[in-house]
Amino acid sequence: MCLWLGSRRWKAAGGTPERVFDVAMWAIPAGIIGARAYHVLITDPGSYFGPNVADPWAFLKIWEGGIGIMGAVSVGALGAWYGCRRYGMNFPAFADAVAPGILLAQAFGRWGNWFNQELFGKPTTLPWGLEISASSGNFPTQYPAGTLFHPTFLYESLWNLLGVALLLWLGRKGVLKLGQTLWLYVFYYGVGRLFIEMFLRIDTSEMLWGVRIHVWTALLLVLLGAVGFVVAGRRAAAKAAAGIEPAPAEIAPKPVADEPAEGAEEKATEKASKKAEPAEGSDSSESSTKSS
């Protein structure tokens, strides 16, 4: 769905829609590596490193679970940047095109937490509270069985869907400059994640200065998104003031010297030979002139 929406928006931006799938071949593997690295190095390093770890290769076993969306987006963006360079594509324009689709994919991906009964929030008495099986390894034992918890996956999913609608609406309004859709996505997602991490999540987490590590990474997204949005806007305004046209979505490949068509070389040789031969009847005309 992300690729479908991204390809449609890329085509509208003047690009070749199939190129989105080409870039995805670089972005998706990079995103998987980044998602796993974020979990292993930031979310839960104690389970993979240290003297008490039984399996030193456990960090490679991604099929056993453990990924982080922030790492997926960050490293996946590097893969997309490389793919754009490889295929002669304008990366800011490409990122603007696919940003709503990425947020849409995140909205659906969050439902995996419901199936796994994980990453829920504080106890709640709200009617939409989430019931976690007391036999689940993720159930917090300090609470009695039957306790309802905030479905943070649902909150984030709805927040992301609202963000998709916002990005698409602003895009149709034409109020965003080159690169601003990308940075608005980063800022918007960071704000939602920051709220959830600070006020709702209760699962165990690495701490930094007494604060959940994910709060810091979400705050970093907010700051980067805000700064990037302002810089992209000023850069676009400066180029417009200088009369510089926006770069095209795709850079045309350098023209390659045309190879001679099949048989062209033989025709050229034949033509040259004919020019070298005297015209028909020229010998007889010359003889007649001399004899007269």
pLDDT tens figures, 186-213: 999 999 999 999 998 887 778 889 889 8
Domain membership of residue 146 (yes or no) is no
Would you state the pLDDT for residue 251? 65
288 pLDDT tier (thresholds 50, 70, 90): very low
Check if the beta carbon of residue 110 is closer than 8 Å to that of residue 250. Answer: no
How confident is the model over 65-78, as pLDDT tens digits?
Answer: 788 888 999 999 99
Domain membership of residue 191 (yes or no) is yes
Q: What is the span of the domain harbouring residue 68? A: 2-120+153-196+209-241
CA separation (Å) from 270 to 238, 256, 265? 59, 27, 9
3-state helix, strand, coil in the chain (%, to 5): 60, 5, 35
> Based on the structure, what is the number of domains in the chain?
1
Domain membership of residue 228 (yes or no) is yes
- Residue 83's CB is within 10 A of a number of other CB atoms, namely 21
Domain membership of residue 233 (yes or no) is yes
Domain membership of residue 284 (yes or no) is no
Extract the tokens encoding 55.
């399996």
How confident is the model over 155-194, as pLDDT tens digits?
Answer: 999 999 999 999 999 999 999 999 999 999 999 999 999 9
Nearest to 122 by CA among 106, 98, 142: 142
Check if the beta carbon of residue 219 is closer than 8 Å to that of residue 191. Answer: no
